[in-house]
Amino acid sequence: MTNAGYEKSNRKMRSDYKKETGKTLGSRQTSGKGKRRVSFACRFAGMKGPMKKPNGEPTRKAIALKKWGFGSVALANSLIDSLDFIVDSYSLFFGVLLTISNIVSV
């Protein structure tokens, strides 16, 4: 998929979302440690699969990472690693909530 093809499918997805919900999606965050960029990095850092197709073209995964300011999965991982203490805090918080909800539901 080319860069133009990726942008075309992205525009279609965004317009479909707006038709369905009436809401506009936020734009890409290409730098910094914003919540949406960290969320994107967490999702894509764990994604399996190649960065290039057999014919040498970049995959959708590679294009998306580049659009969000990550040249590779390793760069997405490095952002997550720099925020480990935050991720651990969320895990602890949600783990406690899950434990409480299990106790309440029993």
Q: Is residue 78 situated within a structural domain?
A: yes
Q: Is residue 76 situated within a structural domain?
A: yes
Q: Is residue 43 situated within a structural domain?
A: yes
- As given in the structure block, the two tokens for residue 59 are 């995959």
Q: Residue 70 belongs to what domain range?
A: 29-105
DSSP three-state, residue 23? coil
Question: In the chain, how many domains are there?
Answer: 1
The predicted-structure confidence for 43-58, as pLDDT tens digits, reads as follows 888 788 898 999 999 8
- As given in the structure block, the two tokens for residue 85 are 């203490």
The predicted-structure confidence for 79-97, as pLDDT tens digits, reads as follows 888 876 555 555 555 554 4
pTM above 0.75? no
